[in-house]
Amino acid sequence: MPNDDEKPALLGKIKDKLIRSKEDWAKQGRLLTGRPDFGRVNRLPPGQKEVTNWPVLDLGIQPHIRPQDFRLEIGGLMENPVIWTLDEFMAQPQEDFVSDIHCVTQWSRYDNHWRGVSARHIVELVRPGARAQYVLFTARDGYTTNVKRMVFEEPNVLLAHLWEGKPIPREHGGPVRVVIPDWYFWKSPKWVTRIEFAAEDKHGFWELRGYHNEGDPWKEERYS
Ligand SMILES: Nc1nc2c(c(=O)[nH]1)N[C@H]1C(S)=C(S)[C@@H](COP(=O)(O)O)O[C@H]1N2
Ligand SMILES: [Mo]
């Protein structure tokens, strides 16, 4: 079992100021250029700036998940729900991916090398039902985010444990984080603990606070 101080809802430590200012961004429509790039002509989505470092964004909690405490639950509307330990996760087929990151706070980082388990493999294994058109992620810090099932099934989506050949550091969501490269990075939960397939959509943490339900960077889907 995780230690008490690693459980979500440590509300006292939550970055209220950061959350409020990001809610204000949504109300003001900050960073919108009004020039979406529907054809994805440019590698850099509108309003973004390329960085070469890797910024850290969280709600004030960076859970320390010891390997023996790691559990990943994949459940909901499906034939074969699973609960994996870290060893069981690592025993799944491993694949390499290269993708760009686009954070809604304006930074983009090119050519990230990931290794992990593809979302496609997971879908083949758990066999979600036809009615399961939505996916809700939950993370150890209490964070949640939602995507359509067809977004999760894109071939470049994975559950990553290596970045640039090294274990993903704790602050970036290690031991295992989701990577959904074609969407703003708030759709890529760190410290993922549960992936739920459902017939109904459900807003996650930022989607409840003024952020777009889909989040396509080329369409500037920053806010709802
Ligand atoms: N569990 C969890 N996942 C999360 C977040 C978070 O606060 N908690 N923040 C999201 C946001 S807003 C962004 S931009 C990216 C940041 O990932 P990074 O810190 O590795 O750059 O993680 C996303 N996933
Ligand atoms: Mo973000």
Question: Distance (Å, rounded) from C-alpha 178 to C-alpha 159?
Answer: 4
What is the overall mean pLDDT for the chain?
95
CB 119 within 8 A of CB 135: no
Domain borders along the chain are: 9-219
Mean local confidence (pLDDT), 25-35: 97
Give the distance (Å) from ligand 1 centre to CA of residue 59. 8
pTM: 0.95
Task: Point out the ligand nearest to the CA of residue 104.
Answer: 2
Q: In the block, which residue shows the tokens 């496609």?
A: 120
Predicted confidence (pLDDT) per residue in 78-112, tens digit: 999 999 999 999 999 999 999 999 999 999 999 99
Q: Which fold has domain 9-219?
A: Sulfite Oxidase; Chain A, domain 2 (3.90.420)
* Cis ω before 175 (30° cut-off from 0): yes
Query: Which tokens go with 177?
Result: 């984080």
**Closest ligand 1 atom number to CA of residue 57:** 19
pLDDT digits (tens, 9 = 90+) for 158-180: 999 999 999 999 999 999 999 99
> Which residues share a beta bridge with 49?
107
pLDDT, tens digit, for every residue of 214-224?
A: 999 999 999 99
Least confident of 10-24, 90-104, 106-120: 10-24
Tokens of 41: 């002509």
